[in-house]
Amino acid sequence: MEKKIIIEAKRLQKELTDHSFRYHVLDDPVISDVEYDYMLKRLIEIETLHPELSIPDSPTKRVGAPALDSFEQAVHSVPMLSLDNAFNDSDVQEFHQRIIKNLNRKEQIVKDPVYTVEPKLDGVAVELRYENGILVQATTRGDGQTGEVITDNVRTIKTVPLKLNATGKIPRVLEVRGEIIIKGADFAKLNRIREKNGENVFANPRNAAAGSLRQLDSKITASRPLNIFVYGTGLAEGIFFNSQADMLDALKDFGFPVNEHIQRKLSIAQVLKAYQFLEEMRETLPYEIDGMVIKVDDMGFQQELGNTIKSPRWAIACKFAAIEETTVINDIIVQVGRTGTLTPVAILEPVNIGGVMVSRATLHNEDEIKRKDIRIKDHVVIIRSGDVIPKVLKTIKEKRTGIETSFMMPETCPVCHGKILKEKLDRSTINRCVNLSCRAQLKERIRHFVSKKAFDIDGLGKKIVVQLVDEGLINSFADVFNLEYKKLVDLDRMAQKKVDNLLAAVDASKKVSLKRFLYALGISHTGEHAATVISQEFVSLDNIMKATKDQFEQITGIGAETAAAVYDFFKDMDHQSVIKAIFDSGVVISAGQPATWDVRDNYFKDKRIVLTGTLHQMPRTQAKKRLQALGARVTSSISAKTDLLIAGEKAGSKLKKAHDLGVETIDEDQFIKLFGKQHG
């Protein structure tokens, strides 16, 4: 290859990167769009002829890559936690007092810690991994431990640097976290175009951002108006920050967009003022925010405070008050849920509440309707806050004209016409259809069973599940795996190709992780989080089925209700035969949690490890989980097969046995050091 070409490619790559940054981040272009497009076209030409010149941070990567078949998964080096919520000033004061109390446990005296406050952006959380300054991977938050790899898609976002600005030393590894958003005006334009093309419109900017990021074809993502603001880091090797404020400044210097309404180093009194101020200016911002995040500024303090299982103790999200609108209730219908609960739902005259069209609101139960005296045709105030399902706050009695009618709970199930049982709870009565073969319940259970976080069967959407249950092709969980081509292809709206795809998706779903399996069963009080924790603790279904109620209660993060529900579920003979039928249909649970195939190489990967003695820097259960996340097998008894013993304080017989067997042994400090190397 001619040297001239190499020089030209390098020059174009550098100049285009600079111009793109000036245009998208600094909002200060110095060349015209036509000139930019011309240079880009030339670079694409060169890189197509000489692919070896197409480096990972070339601006050509922004136009999208060949489409993928599916997203890979990756374990986060440092879990992506969520935030605890505060709803008013006194919650914030309590947070502040908790911080002071926790920081004063040791000899030090901390009276007035300072905080950095940031708008809470209502978008999609992502992590960007840079190695030696180059963007090598982007992932979604996923369940916090494992996310989906969306690198090609994220490279198309013009404000995401493909290479860090080198103002100083470039860290070997830097994982940067932030929120991908779509601005209000861009969102409206996107929906106008979609409507014109006869496509479904997005409900709100957050859904539009999430939908755009989950495209297997990154060229589609490239056409969407995505933006990013960054606010934190994951693993960082070769760089250290003293404070949140310093970190934000460093990220800005590296070329990342950092939100301009962040306020640094405030006293708690100033924090409360900032909260009011931000809530007032919320409407004027070009993007959606749903609160303010308060973070302890000092990184040393952040480390000292640490995390609970779900969220850091050093940060809190202050939610803004919910948004309200008035509308009319056109009708009240009754829905039958997965467990047979009858829920009255208000069908509303559609109303736009803070950018979201709302046409239904839950009325919870019969007592709530009575308590609030809600009638059909009433004018009502609806409230929507964050992710919460819209609720009817109150009726506007002054607007009644006399046409309003009271709602009556049906005497029998509106779907199967079976008997309804009234269950008295503390403050309300629950109406429940007790017919276990009620089609409505079955439909809901199957929908949950095949949903994204459960068996994740593509092609078994709501409509098809309803159709298959109505046609009698699905009467139980196991039937999902025994669908027959001949019967499916005869159904309405079922083309050959669709059946092929569906059966392939069913087949692919048969290998499932324990966590998904547990979640799919739809045990009450057992959501994604409980399923994750329980599967990590017990590792196999066999262990779960044999466990005592007490063992479930012992698990950090599992409450008494969940413990009882899980225990009762597996004791039930009917449930046991339902589970057996699922396995008889060819379902297998993939061993180990989480799977090891997507774990990056590290010191602990694939080692058989035993933990013993007292650890001071993290509970043993947590150490176990983190080791498993790094691909280690943590076992309880030591043998010649053991690769490593981690011996905390007062380690006894196991330590001796390890010596006798010649098993490598390390103490807690060495462990934390090695661990730090994997985790930063």
Q: What residues make contact with ligand IVH under the rule CB under 6 A? A: 81-83, 118, 120-121, 125, 141, 179, 231-232, 293, 312, 315, 317
Short-list 73, 65, 235, CA closest to 154: 65
Q: Which two tokens stand for residue 668?
A: 């807690």
**Cα torsion 245, 178, 519, 510: sign:** negative
Q: Containing H/E element for 60? A: none
Q: Which entry of 61, 120, 515, 624 is annotated as an active-site residue?
A: 120
SS3 readout for 487-543:
HHHCCCCCCHHHHHHHHHHHHHCCEEEHHHHHHHCCCCCCCHHHHHHHHHHHCCHHH
Instruction: Kindly list the distances between the CA atom of residue 388 and the CA atoms of 4, 48, 317, 385, 391, in Å, as whole numbers in the listed order.
Output: 60, 49, 16, 6, 8
Q: How far is the CB of 180 from ligand IVH (least distance, A)?
A: 9
Taking a C-beta distance cutoff of 8 angstroms, is the pair 623, 611 a contact? yes
Q: How many residues does the chain have?
A: 680
Considering the complex, state which of residue 205 and residue 312 has its C-beta at the smaller distance from ligand IVH. Answer: 312
Name the minimum Å distance from CB 80 to ligand IVH: 7
CB-based contact 387:416 (threshold 8 Å): no
498 catalytic, yes or no?
no
The nearer residue to ligand IVH, 248 or 433, going by C-beta atoms, is: 248
Smallest distance, ligand IVH to C-beta of residue 619, A: 19
Tokens 């339902």 correspond to what residue? 578
Nearer to ligand IVH, 17 or 244 (CB): 244
- The conformation of residue 156, written as its DSSP 8-state character, comes to T
Nearest to 231 by CA among 264, 259, 261: 259
Taking CB positions, which residue lies at the least distance from ligand IVH? Answer: 125
Q: Would you state the structure tokens that stand for residue 597, as one six-digit string?
A: 């195939």
**What is the smallest separation between the CB atom of 462 and ligand IVH, expressed in angstroms?**
27
Query: Is the Cβ–Cβ distance between 306 and 103 less than 8 Å?
Result: no
Work out the end-to-end distance of the chain between its first and last CA atoms, rounded to an integer number of angstroms: 42
Which residue number, 20 or 212, has a Cβ lying nearer to ligand IVH? Answer: 212
> From the CB of 82, what's the least distance to ligand IVH, in Å?
4
User: Cα separation of 613 and 667, whole Å?
Assistant: 10
| 115-121/289-296 β-pairing | antiparallel
Q: What is the nearest approach in angstroms of ligand IVH to the Cβ of residue 512?
A: 26
Q: Tell me the closest approach of the beta carbon of residue 163 to ligand IVH, in angstroms.
A: 24
Decide whether 312 or 340 has the Cβ nearer to ligand IVH: 312
- Between 103 and 317, CB nearer to ligand IVH: 317
> Based on CB atoms, which residue is closest to ligand IVH, 125 or 629?
125
Q: Which is nearer to ligand IVH, 317 or 520 (CB)?
A: 317
Burial of 270 (0-12, 13-18, 19+ CB in 10 A): middle
The 3-class SS string of 309-348 reads CCCECCEEEEECCCEEEEEEEEEEEEEECCCCEEEEEEEE
Q: Are strands 633-635 and 85-86 parallel, antiparallel or unpaired?
A: unpaired
Whether the CB-CB separation of 360 and 347 falls below 8 Å is answered with yes
Q: Which tokens sit at 495?
A: 């083309």
Asked whether 176 and 251 are in contact (CB, 8 A), the reply is yes
Q: How far is the CB of 295 from ligand IVH (least distance, A)?
A: 7
Within 10 A of 8 (CB to CB), how many other CB atoms are there? 15
Residues 6+ apart with CB under 8 A from 290: 120, 122, 319, 320, 386
Residues in a beta bridge with 590? 513
Q: Is there a cis peptide before residue 344, judged by omega within 30 degrees of 0? A: no
Instruction: Select from 181, 280, 193 the least CA-distant residue to 231.
Output: 181
CB of 606 to ligand IVH, least distance (A): 29
Instruction: Give whichever of 322 and 521 is closer to ligand IVH, judged by the CB atom.
Output: 322
Nearer CB in complex with ligand IVH: 92/369: 92
CB atoms within 10 A of CB 497: 8
R_g of the chain computed on alpha carbons: 28
Least distance between ligand IVH and beta carbon 593 (Å): 22
The set of catalytic residues is: 120
